[in-house]
A = this chain, B = another copy of it.
Amino acid sequence: MANSKYEYVRLFEQPDTLLPNTWIVVRIDGRGFTKLCNTYGFAKPNDKRALDLMNAAAKAVMADLPDIVLAYGVSDEYSFVFHKTCQLFERRASKLVSTVVSTFTAFYLHLWPTVFSGGLVDDVPLVAPLLPTFDGRAVCYPSVQNLRDYLSWRQVDCHINNLYNTTFWALVQKGGMDSVEATELLKGTFAADKNEILFSRFQINYNNEPEMYKKGSVVFRDYELVDPANTNAAQTAAAADNQAEPPTLSKSKAETDKKRRAKARITVEHMDIIKDEFWDRRPWLLTGQPGTLPKQL
């Protein structure tokens, strides 16, 4: 039986390839996580297990998709950065977004018991229909500066929200306020005010809060750090921006790159990614070329 009579419907599929030579960021966000957090009893303002789970799922996504050079996560969101030379799925937006979202979801569910069932007491099994799910979208950034500004935007947001939430929940959990009172008190306050409230009322030095809460989590392949005296992000960025087209590697070079990339450990860190130093010491993030594997591996 021929299928030709109906096959014309394929003409309705419209292409959604993303502009070449631009950095692709796929950002995913938890759907209805306020309710999910309440149902499964996540700690406020930060639940270490929930963040560990986000990070573990992000690592699994990066291992599955080697075109991702870096990921940055905070709260229930994660941004995955594909190198601007990436040709995965012919750069089709829906393929890239749906693959990242599905892989992340799958690992989040699969790894849930390892994180949320540390002991008999803590066991928190998932119960349908309230399962964790995520939505996502892809955005293109033409220059290294745009990409770094995007990531800086997310990390500044992390800081602003975490300082607010830390203070808010201290007022509620330790200060005996209800949420209306706490909201009212914090209205119009600056960072210095919140630091002061934390310190004077609760003896909390915000600087001593865990780095994961203050900085979020950055995930990348770990090679030997480069001496910042020998490189700088501006040069690397310019070089990356000057890459006009996907490099056509020799087959053997491509093979070597692939192996080195597979051998590299994927690491999760909680550090400043706004300043140059992070990028200066890890030129492979922007060049897309694998770095030197550390000796111990």
Report A's interface with B, CB cutoff 8 A: 1, 3, 5-9, 11-17, 19-22, 28, 31, 60, 63-64, 84, 92-95, 97-99, 101-107, 109-111, 126, 128-129, 131-146, 149-150, 152-153, 156-157, 159-160, 191, 234, 237-238, 241-245
Given A12-B20, A98-B137, A153-B9; A242-B131 close (CB under 8 Å): no
A237 neighbours in B (Cβ, 8 Å): 242
Interface SS of A by simple majority: helix
Q: Which of B19, B95, B152, B160 contacts A22 (CB 8 A)?
A: B19
Q: What are 29 of the A-B contact pairs (CB < 8 Å)?
A: A6-B149, A6-B150, A7-B153, A8-B149, A9-B150, A11-B20, A14-B15, A14-B140, A16-B16, A20-B142, A28-B98, A60-B129, A92-B137, A94-B94, A98-B101, A98-B135, A98-B136, A98-B137, A102-B104, A102-B133, A102-B134, A103-B131, A105-B105, A107-B131, A143-B143, A144-B241, A145-B241, A145-B243, A238-B242
- Contact check, B6 vs A156: say whether CB atoms are below 8 A apart: yes
- For the A-B complex with A106-B133, A107-B131 known, give 11 more contacts whose Cβ atoms are closer than 8 Å: A1-B159, A3-B153, A9-B141, A9-B149, A9-B150, A12-B139, A19-B142, A21-B142, A102-B105, A105-B106, A109-B109
